[in-house]
Chains A and B, each alone.
Chain A
């Protein structure tokens, strides 16, 4: 079980699907941001699983490439969370609600 790549990839796919559902279905903007974090983590899990099972090559230096890519993804996710939460707080200060379907100023 822990020695098959399929298990990790299916796990990553399930996590990604849960994140997709949360992003499409939730009304709260911060909930949508949390769903995006779930999807980023699913992709990270897939990258690490591929690297650990030798998709980039079998030597230790080649296996560690996957970890390097995942570290970059984590850093970009941190930057994205910072800016996203700042935008949500700025919108909340103007509209007094965190619900995305009430942000309709550009529709009228």
Chain B
């Protein structure tokens, strides 16, 4: 019975989210892109807050996966489907799994019970709020040129740009990834006779 509680909570949250979406769509008369943007933005900000505030770090990792998934949805709304696919494959598929494995390797038994935040967390919160307010003020005070967004980006066009104009950057990123793999293996390798 206790195992059913998280499933029921998840179902309730999903039902509430769908209800809000239908309400916005039917009653307020907004179009699909707006409703989806509101939903993805709410999920993204909410799960990002969970990532930085939750006590159990493995749940922080799972909330981070939700945050990246919502961000992939926002990329689709912005008309960049290849980037959304890359976000799902690289961030959710690779980086999150890597982080979850590192959490499992470095988890101590009393970790959820010890203090989660540093002593300067109040100052950090003030600094973060100031950053958000300054960015919001700067964005709203600037007059952006009126260009209608929502152009659906063609993957063939993107590949032509990537492999003609930016082919040097592409190759350099390949070398960087090779160096990162070699460096990661070297750093995480156990030395013979060293601490286990």
* A-to-B contact residues, CB < 8 Å: 1-3, 5-22, 24-31, 33-35, 37-38, 41, 44-45, 48-49, 51-54, 58, 60-61, 63-68, 70-72, 74-83, 85-90, 92-94, 96-99, 101
B125 touches A98 (CB 8 A): no
B180 touches A83 (CB 8 A): yes
Q: Would you list the 9 A-B pairs with minimal beta carbon distance, nearest first? A: A13-B135, A22-B52, A24-B124, A79-B180, A54-B147, A21-B128, A17-B132, A25-B121, A86-B187
Which residue of chain B has its CB nearest to the CB of A75?
A: B173
B147 touches A1 (CB 8 A): no
Minimum distance in angstroms from A19 CB to a CB of chain B: 7
A-B contact pairs, 25 of them (CB 8 A): A3-B150, A8-B74, A13-B131, A18-B48, A19-B52, A21-B128, A24-B121, A30-B57, A30-B103, A34-B51, A38-B51, A41-B68, A48-B83, A51-B80, A52-B149, A54-B149, A68-B165, A74-B87, A76-B173, A78-B90, A78-B94, A82-B183, A83-B184, A89-B106, A92-B105
CA of A82 to CA of B185, assembled, Å: 9
| Chain B contacts for A58, CB-based, 8 A | 147
Interface size on B (CB < 8 Å)?
95
| Chain B contacts for A29, CB-based, 8 A | 106
CA of A11 to CA of B139, assembled, Å: 11
> Would you call the interface of chain B mostly helix, strand, loop, or mixed?
helix
A21 touches B124 (CB 8 A): yes
Which of A19, A27, A64, A89 meets B118, CB within 8 Å?
A27
Given A22-B51, A30-B99, A49-B78; A83-B34 close (CB under 8 Å): no
A85 touches B45 (CB 8 A): no
B57 touches A28 (CB 8 A): yes
Minimum distance in angstroms from B41 CB to a CB of chain A: 5
| Chain B contacts for A41, CB-based, 8 A | 67-68, 71, 91
